[in-house]
Structure 1
Amino acid sequence: MPSLLKTSCNSCIAAKRRCSRATPKCERCSQRSLDCHYAFPPSHRTNLDWNTGQPVRLPRSTDSYVTDPGVPPQSQPLGIADSVAMQSFDYALLELAGLPGIDDPKFSLLFEFPALAQMRVLDLWPRLDDTRSWSFCAQMLLSFANQFVQTGENPFIGKSGSMSYIVTTAFSVCAAYLARTDATNGMFQRILVAEVCKVATAIPHSSFEQQLAALQALLLYYILMFFGGDAQLRALAEKQEGVLERATIALQSQCLDPSGTPTDRVAECQREAARRAVVISYLLRGINRVLQYKSCHVICDLVNLPVSLRLPLGVHRSGLQSESQIDTREIVTYYEFVQEWENGRLGEIDEFAKLLLVACKGVTEIVPPNAFDTT
């Protein structure tokens, strides 16, 4: 089977860009009016990428088995060592090269991964067979969608008097999820897929606020597809995981822009929401991969993601408020965050911090036995 490099078009290979492998022209060549030639022409696919705006159909399934070649077979799981080795050439990160300001030295942080930190995180990460911990994390993520409907906020979406249209629509979709029945489940799934398509066709957005709203909405949608749907919906989410990845990378580039330094409390809260949304995006994809295939492909990326060391002033344990004040001197990496907890220096933790710690240390280390059920 040809490698990903060989299946990309010649123009994308030469420019070291990620290729959508669409026919007759890939997305990049179409946008730039370039000649698009494949050494190994991609075969026709029934399920086209969501970011092309083309119709998407749910994959065929028989009971719990999904007949979709885009989903790794469960009989051949990858291990942590395999996932780390695969990080040597990350096509998703190449998309950053097309974003403004990529030559700025600050972006080098995204590609740094100290060997000692890598060994430490691999040592901390729970066993891939620790289904109890990973199921707990999945239920926590589902509870964030439920909490958003009940209160208008959750650990990565702050309560605001002027919620964006994208997030408002996501609120409606989550409410429809909670109210669905067996008779309406098919309609709900079609609405969910249609809304993901709408967000996908508009990535990247022009402003930080739009990027943040897009990722927040996609997180809610993918949480429902990964952990709140059936095998068909989960398989479709896995096949189109690149949509969530693109939105995450686009927001990361905005977060690293020094010109966007927050000057008031509302802006500070938005930056904190963005940091949390990015971390949850990586965790969401990693947790699903561990539960389904006993592998994790995001460990190396998680290590250097920024998180707040202290619970921001004015933040509820369950949500993020617009009045929050975040001391930027208290922003550390995920790796350092876990170190602080191990040394007993974290103090009170909110639901977001609990998710980070359970994902890294396991549920038995963080949560009392009688609090295992988060629903």
Structure 2
Amino acid sequence: MLSQLTLFALAGSAHAALRFGCSTITVQRLDPVVEPGKIPSAHVHQIVGGNAFNATMEGDIGEKGTCTTCAYTEDFSNYWTAVMYFRHENGSYKRVPQYPNAQLGTEGKDAPDIKAGMTIYYSQKDLNSNGNQFIRAFPPGFRMTVGSPSASTASYGQSHPGLRYTCLQTILTRGGETADFPTKPCPAGIMAIHHFPACWDGKNLDSPNHQDHMYATTKGGFQEAAPCPASHPVRVAQVAYETMWNTTVFKDMWPKNSNKQPFVWSFEGNGYGTHADYLFGWKGDSLQRAMNSTCMFHKCGSPGVQGILKTQTVAEMNNCAVKKMVDEDVDGWLDRLPGQDVMPMRFRD
């Protein structure tokens, strides 16, 4: 952990904040944080980031990847959530397609769109400043989770303001967040939001439940978080995900005579069970350089903009991939969710 003298020397009024798109690198049942080495994991995940992603991941991931689906070429981290499915009245399931953030998905008229994926944020005290506190980048090997697939009650949702949904009236809608899935059809789909804790104990790269080494003071959204407690004194970057789920493709299949929405997560869970995993993999000191700077969003680096971080084109992002390790259908109309019942399985070498 950095000394107090070093923290004081580096503290300042920097207001760096990263906001960038990452295309999907794979959709399959792997989870190297919660179920390391298990092939397949319990439920389907949608993953973005570096191509070092595998069933087991140890060490400095930033030095192991050769490409990334994220806009910044030095970010080989992996970010993932469960997958959203539509549950038809006849009992079958279909994976809900994703689409990229409307402001990050293209580079021009003839450029390709980001391939589904997520929008990733690294912010400081809020989206304007870090006050007088040094923001520490995560060390190699760091990992954490937020939320729980076993959660199913409103009280859990109320106590976790960083886990929310937005019923999109347009693809640019922000605000109007709810703790559970929206109860009515959303004109432009559903955005799932995950804010991770930003207070670290300064010692442990992980913990048995992947959460106790962190402490959340977030108030939801990008509001200024409360100070870190003495048990977790190190302020790290506030990591957040936004995933856009295109539920509109099922608008003509909404269940009749029902006040329940027809969406479930891939573990057959309701909206309160939303959760996400993070595995740090920025190369070298690249994330620390960004957090030490005063850049905001595109000014940190984007196509055509010289910034502190290096970027790549959407075509290059989309071209990065990893091997499918579990041979099963996760996209067609399914009579059960993958992993939620005993079913024949084939594994790739």
Q: TM-score, normalised by structure 1?
A: 0.24
**Structure with a larger share of its residues in strand:** 2
**Structure with a larger share of its residues in helix:** 1
